[in-house]
Structure 1
Amino acid sequence: MAIQSSIKANLYKDSVSLMRIAQVTVARSGVQRVTLLMGTRSNKEFLQQAGLMSPAFESAKPGDIMIVVADDSPDKLEAAEREIHSLIAGQDSKDGPTEAAAEAPPRSISGGVAVADHANLALISVPGPYAAAEALKALRQGLNVLLFSDNVPIEQERAIKRVAAHKGLLVMGPDCGTAIINGVPLGFANVVRPGVIGLVGASGTGLQEVMCQIHRHRQGISQAIGTGSHDVYSQVGGVTMLQGLELLAGDEATKVIAIVSKPPAPEVQKLVIERAGAIGKPVVICFLGGESATSIGNLHRASSLEETARRAVSLAGANEPGRDERIIGDLATRVCASLAPSQRYLRGLYSGGTFCLEAQTIWQAAGIRVRSNAPLDGADRLANGEDSHGHTAIDLGSDEFTVGRPHPMIDYGVRIERLLKEAEDPTVACIVLDVVLGYGSHLSPAEILAPAIRQARAAAKAKGRELPVICFVCGTDEDPQPFETQKAVLVDVGAELVSSSTDAALSAQAIATRMSAGEGAAVRRVMQGGERR
């Protein structure tokens, strides 16, 4: 595959804009890969690791855009280059000048405040080395901050959050991908009805899944406050999570609070639980991989994302949604009847780190050892994230897979490649995939994923195997993507569709457990009439 490199000098664009330009270019030109990064030292290191570094980039400055296009076709390379430069310049090659080009946006925090002096929040998405400085500028202007940027040193995160707390302001992030503040969705967020349940979490996709489940149970969200994944580390001390609890405690519209996070550092967990216990409102706490479900006073522990939503809905005054466990059992029975004895292992290919974490907690609780690039236990870390081993759960949104690429909720390329690779493995019993809808996500993810699912299942079939692909859609009927259409597309290519991330992990667990116990062959004999019970 040929790689073509170029530089657009002296023009800064944030990572979200660059991801969108890359996505549009791939869709329009058909080129295999587009990478757009600012010329920072860390981005050059990323390109080096990905095998995409060019000598031309050595002289690139942090204010320059490094452009990499890869394909086998010279014509596609040239078409992609033209598309990229046109989009960077603010010209849509199909529609002429864009509205954005006609009205130049502010180029600084102070410029933005001058245009919108009523604003009280700044969303910042710049390279990590510059993010803390921009956040401090916003705080000095009296603005709360959603810091979408990642790769911010943890000592800088601690410093800006201390400044914010002193000023009575909130910093969501760094690496905060999801929030809903006063009804306004920020980052990757879904369209949900307003209501009385307030969320605070160190998990973007976890917040999305919980809010979507709440919406489906006909309850709504008052606020959803993201903290960033490092907020619950001991070095930061849970500053934003504690502030978020305080804000929701004082919010008249919020009647029930839910917390979603991986287990915080012990001292942070103690602070969070103490503060939650002192709030005069019911609080659902989901520390994935932590304690199992219990209720003490106003605190209600949940062990999964779905259970978090169900408990919050019940505490909000609605009947707690029921669960029909037979659906999972019936799916596992039907699937196992079609599998060969060699098919024993699970493969979870997730765009959300929380989905990957939840699957690991469910599988390990059932005695299934899981390897991962983001493991619960360091001993289970994959030697190479590109290669699965045994039962495997992969976070495809981690840095090793997003170097020079858009997030997998936007660009499905990496996941499709991995899906097709896993389909060649005769030991794979099933593959689990999430499909995330909402603002910021791909405009029609199921239509992109469906041909790959069909191809993967056909490849396995050609070698005498069935390949179950379990999917769940994280979204609502109000999202920009047609929810029912997305589900129908997946069902049409033979995917096993379940209603939540929790059910997807439980269904896969049931399949692996039965195949490990040799039940697959027994089920086949019964269904084929060779044995009666």
Structure 2
Amino acid sequence: MIYAFIKKGSFQDSVSLMLISRKLSASPEVEEVSVMMGTPANKSLLETTGFWHDDFTDATPNDICAAVRVGAENPGIVDLIREQLETELTAITQAAGQGQHLAKARRWQSACDKMPDANLLLISVAGEYAAGVAEQGLLSGKNVMMFSDNVPVEQEVALKQQARDRGLIVMGPDCGTAMIAGAPLAFANVLPKGNIGIIGASGTGIQELASQIALHNHGVSHAIGLGGRDLSAEVGGISALTALEWLAADEQSKVLAFVSKPPAEAVRQKVIAAMQRIPKPIVALFLGAKPEKCNEGNVWLASTLSQAAQLAVMLACVAEVTETQSAVVGKTISGLYAGGTLAAEAAMLLAAQLDVEPDAHHHNGIMLEAKGHRIVDLGDDVYTVGRPHPMIDPTTRSIEIEKLIQQKDVGVLLLDVVLGFGACADPAGAVVEAVQKVREARGPGNPLVVIATLTGTEKDPQCRTTQADTLLNADIVVMNNLQEAILLATHLITQHQHPVTATRPAILDGVKVINAGLRSFASDLQSTGTPVVHYQWAPVAGGNARLASLLKQLN
């Protein structure tokens, strides 16, 4: 049996009413209670879920509809639930008045007047009204984030195209996450600041990717949500393209990471093409897809969130070091390795970057020789006849390093420093001595960038940190692994062909929000120091579409 009552003219957000419904349903006198605003969509839902009562027929979107299901006749239950509802609504009002004062406005113009430089409208109102609120924000020159869902795709396309034409962005509908300039928008995490910019058509995908990056001791510059349908054939990646342009122009975002559910193939190709025009490394994860190759130019393809995070962090490490090194554009790479397996992997990685094949025969320890670049295994038999292995005695490698005095076309030297029992007592010191001779002889007009990797531990006789400090103090770059070393080397000898032409939007310097919908979103923003005005939105003209249209025309 269903009992019902209406509370007139008392607009509340849907999440608050859902929580109240659950709390009232815990009462032993009832089977279940459903409390909703009287919007057309909610009325349909009440009917579908078996909570409909004829008293709801004349309810407006500004009225609260309360339906009470009981197992037996109990007319007095209405008064009990009405009293409990009033208690819960009062508690919401009192909670809103506690703590730091939150700026509020009941009219759109008042909200704009209270924060004339607001640059983002955050919307979490009922889906049937969200597009109208979003258009109001766009016409006022504000970017829009739509947490609201159940927005028709036709309205989404129209809003996003309008935003793009105005140099703005619409994140959403159904955009659950964004973190821009440190501001937590909707569902968000507290993240360290860093140089990895994230774009995503997956809310929890963004959150997990950002969290994994933080676990790797790196940070995020911005995270821009798109909404789950942005990469569909109907929408065509409109907001994705804008977000890519924004972060391409953002100096703080050195590496981009893109995550989405499987996109329409034509949209995927369009997005990948846009990525390849950006002179920054980009990690792309299209969930569910299995990449046939690891990268397409500057675009690295991941198959899992953890892999995407690892790739982004690796590329971020390379980007950080790149800023400290002078480019040697047009020069070649020489790799002189004491470890045979390390030489083989370096050759494989460099061949992939150069789009060539490694040497198949390894004559004289040559693991790769292509386009002027060369990787050599100095532990090959040809170098150890009558001589100690270079891991024991570094003389062989020192001789090869010093040959670079005459090989002026070489701009980058790659090498390994292997520690442990049986190895040279100070391999880093031998490297530094040889490199300094080369640099002094070549002079400042023909610099040599040296990139080393270390194999060993802190407790080895040589001590990993001590050896690293020896190299770093001699202006030798130390990378975490061979892949980072190869990426840095190839980056230093190449130059990008596509300059960035997009304008960096001011919102990346700081977010100022008008929040329409869930009060908790405004409170979260306020707690982080983000300027925010809570727009206490309610349907215009009591939700009467015809009257609302007439009022809009009059304005």
Q: TM-score, normalised by structure 1?
A: 0.54
Aligned to 1:142: 141
- Give aligned-pair identity as a percent: 42
> Aligned to 1:119, what secondary structure does the other structure show?
coil
Residue 272 of structure 1 aligns to a residue whose secondary structure is helix
The residue number in structure 2 matching 1:180 is 179
SS at match of 2:290: coil
The answer as to whether partners of 1:29 and 1:76 remain within 8 angstroms in 2 is no
Counterpart of 2:152? 153
Measured in 1, the distance between the counterparts of 2:57 and 2:78 equals: 22
The amino acid across from 1:231 in the alignment is D
Kindly report which structure 2 residues correspond to 1:47-446, keeping only aligned pairs within 5 A, or say none: 47-69=46-68, 81-88=82-89, 90-92=90-92, 98-99=97-98, 105-292=104-291, 294-317=294-317
1:143, distance to aligned residue in structure 2 (A): 1.0
Q: 2:10 maps to which residue?
A: 11
1:37 is matched with: 36
1:279-338 CA deviation, whole Å, 9 max, x = no partner? 11111111111233622221111111222212112211189xxxxxxxxxxxxxxxxxxx
In the aligned structure 2, how far is the partner of 1:155 from the partner of 1:300? 33
AA partner of residue 280 (structure 2): K
* Distance of 1:190 and 1:262 partners within structure 2: 21
**Distance change >3 Å, CA 205–CA 96, structure 1 → 2:** closer
CA displacement, residues 461-519 of structure 1 (integer Å, 9 cap, x when unaligned): xxxxxxxxxxxxxxxxx9xxxxxxxxxxxxxxxxxxxxxxxxxxxxxxxxxxxxxxxxx
Deviation of 1:28 after TM superposition, in Å, equals 9.7
Choose 67-76 or 119-128, whichever is displaced more: 67-76
Look up the SS of the partner of 1:316 in the other structure.
helix
The answer to whether the 8 Å contact 1:31/1:80 transfers is no
* Higher normalized contact order (CA 8 Å, seq sep 6+, divided by chain length): 2
| Deviation (angstroms), 1:103 | 7.6
Q: What residue ranges of structure 1 are gaps of 5+ in the alignment?
A: 320-409, 411-438, 444-477, 479-533
Distance 1:30 1:173, change over 3 A: farther
CA distance in 2, matches of 1:87, 1:287: 44
Q: CA deviation at 1:173?
A: 0.7
Q: Conserved in 2, the CA contact under 8 Å of 1:91 and 1:98? A: no
* SS, match of residue 229 in structure 1: coil
Distance 1:70 1:213 in 2: 45
Question: For residues 101 and 194 of structure 1, do their structure 2 counterparts lie closer, same or farther at Cα, with a shift above 3 Å needed?
Answer: closer
Aligned amino acid, residue 161 of structure 1: K
For residues 218 and 26 of structure 2, the distance between their equivalents in structure 1, rounded to whole angstroms, comes to 37
Shift of 1:218: 1.4
* Aligned-partner Cα distance in 2 for 1:233–1:97: 39
Aligned partners of 2:27, 2:187: CA distance in 1, in Å?
Answer: 23
**What secondary structure is seen at the aligned counterpart in 2 of 1:180?**
strand
Is the CA contact 1:172–1:226 (under 8 Å) kept in the aligned structure 2?
yes
Amino acid at match of 1:130: Y
Q: Say which one has the larger Rg.
A: 2
Gaps of 5+ in 2: 320-517, 529-555
Task: Give TM-score scaled by structure 2 length.
Answer: 0.52
Q: Residues of 2 paired with 1:20 and 1:185: CA distance?
A: 22
Shift of 1:96: 8.1
Q: Secondary structure at the match of 1:231?
A: coil
Code of the aligned partner of 1:312: A
8 Å Cα contact 1:31-1:77 kept in structure 2: no
CA-CA distance at 1:15 after TM superposition: 2.7
The question of whether the paired residues in 1 share the 8 Å contact of 2:4 and 2:78 is answered with no
Contact 1:198 1:257 survives alignment (8 Å) = yes
Aligned to 1:232, what secondary structure does the other structure show?
coil
Deviations 1:378-411 (A, max 9, x none): xxxxxxxxxxxxxxxxxxxxxxxxxxxxxxxx9x
> What SS is found at the alignment partner of 2:135?
helix
Residues 430-509 of structure 1: pairs in structure 2 closer than 5 A: none
AA partner of residue 317 (structure 1): C
> Aligned-pair RMSD on alpha carbons?
3.4
> Is residue 196–residue 254 contact of structure 2 (8 Å, CA) maintained in 1?
yes
1:36 offset after TM fit, Å? 3.2
Question: Structure 1 residue 198: deviation in Å?
Answer: 1.0
**Does structure 1 retain, via aligned residues, the 8 Å contact 2:121–2:145?**
yes
Give a deviation string over 1:67-120, Cα, whole Å, max 9, x none.
2355779899866543432343x4459x68834999883123322111122211
Deviation string, structure 1 residues 212-262 (Cα, Å, up to 9, x no partner) = 111122111111111111111111111111111111111111111111111
Tell me, in whole angstroms, the C-alpha distance in 1 between the residues paired with 2:84 and 2:99.
17
Query: Could you say if the C-alpha distance between residues 280 and 204 of structure 1 is closer, same or farther in structure 2, counting changes exceeding 3 Å?
Result: same
- Structure 1 residue 30, shift from structure 2 partner: 11
Partner SS for 1:317: helix
Label 1:307 to 1:109 Cα distance change in 2 as closer, same or farther (>3 A). Answer: farther
Separation (CA, whole Å) in 1 of partners of 2:148 and 2:264: 23
What is the aligned partner in structure 1 of residue 428 from structure 2?
Answer: none
Work out the CA distance in 2 between the residues paired with 1:300 and 1:72: 59
> What do residues 1-57 of structure 1 show as CA deviations (whole Å, max 9, x unaligned)?
x65433222233333443454466668999875533222222222222222222222
AA aligned opposite 2:202: S
Q: Distance in 2 between matches of 1:262 and 1:152?
A: 19
2:162 & 2:95 partners in 1: Cα distance? 44
Say if 1:87 and 1:107 are closer, same or farther in 2 by CA, change over 3 A: farther
Q: For residues 100 and 198 of structure 2, what CA distance do their matches in structure 1 show? A: 37
Q: Distance in 2 between matches of 1:55 and 1:100?
A: 41
Separation in structure 2 between the aligned mates of residue 151 and residue 106 of structure 1, nearest angstrom? 26
The CA distance in 2 between the partners of 1:266 and 1:165, in whole Å, is: 22
Q: 1:142 to 1:86 in 2, by over 3 A?
A: farther
Instruction: Tell me the distance in 1 between the aligned counterparts of 2:4 and 2:218.
Output: 50
Q: 1:124 & 1:97 partners in 2: Cα distance?
A: 19
1:135 offset after TM fit, Å?
0.5
- Kindly provide the amino acid, as one letter, of the partner of residue 153 in structure 1: P
